[in-house]
Amino acid sequence: MAQLIGGLGTSHIPAIGNAIHKGLQQEPYWKPFFDGFPPVQQWLNAKKPDVMVIFYNDHGLNFFLDKMPTFAVGAAPQYVNSDEGWGIPSLEPLRGEVDLSWHLINELIAKEFDVVTCQEMLVDHACSLPLKLFYPEGNYPVTVVPVCINTVQFPLPSAKRCYALGKAVGEAIRSWDSSKKVAVLASGGLSHQLDGERAGFINKAFDLQFLDSLDTNPEWATQFSVHELVEKTGTQGVELLMWLAMRGALATGGGSSVKRVTSNYHIPISNTATAVLALETA
């Protein structure tokens, strides 16, 4: 069976891609953010996952306001980057892990998650930027399965439901008939709001409490409704739902114990609280 080796989380702000493209990683504004990634890169180099399952939110590329699935899973042989133009100008397509995609889809539907199956899917900075941050040199050495969670248009799935989705994904990964090593990745957040009267809102205290909870009390954030999470983290801060799904995936296989490999929290980058986290399964 496949081995689920750990989980990663990172912010996916489009301006990060612009900084990478212009080589600004050591500039004072950017250095505290980029300094969080070498330990993750070292861990990935040591563990060498073959596949990454990416929990992310689509930004109007595949799904717009007229058709917004709650959960969607990619089942394509490749995923072409087609971002809105504020990131890295040219990126190679992501290679899909089709066999795992269909295994996840079948297992999720069997567990009564009504997912949308996407045999064609474009990706934006929410998928491409994390991989470029983790693998800054050359092509990505992993195949991917994108799992899209709606954080754009209400009604949104609850924190409890996203955690349960993650657990179902983790169970499916561990039952996949393969010798490959799999990591799960959460892309998004943390607290931020890009519009309205609270534009620029950041809640450092909540962010740090949330990050701490992912070690030993991963269901802590599931006590909050979506509207409470918006109040505490900002309209776009609900992207932490991806982090909950990632952590849920690790809470399978006989327990929820994980080891924190590294983490970094920095504010602000483009009006957003940014974080990176690596957790290894115990």
Any idea which residues carry the catalytic annotation? 125, 192
> CA 13 to CA 175: how far, in whole Å?
33
* Identity of the residue numbered 219: E
Six-digit token pair at 197? 């009267």
Cis peptide, bond prior to residue 268, ω within 30 of zero? yes
Which segments of the chain are extended strands (E)?
3-10, 51-56, 71-74, 78-79, 94-95, 116-118, 143-149, 181-187, 258-269, 272-281
> CA 13 to CA 66: how far, in whole Å?
24
Residue found by looking up tokens 């929990």 in the block:
55
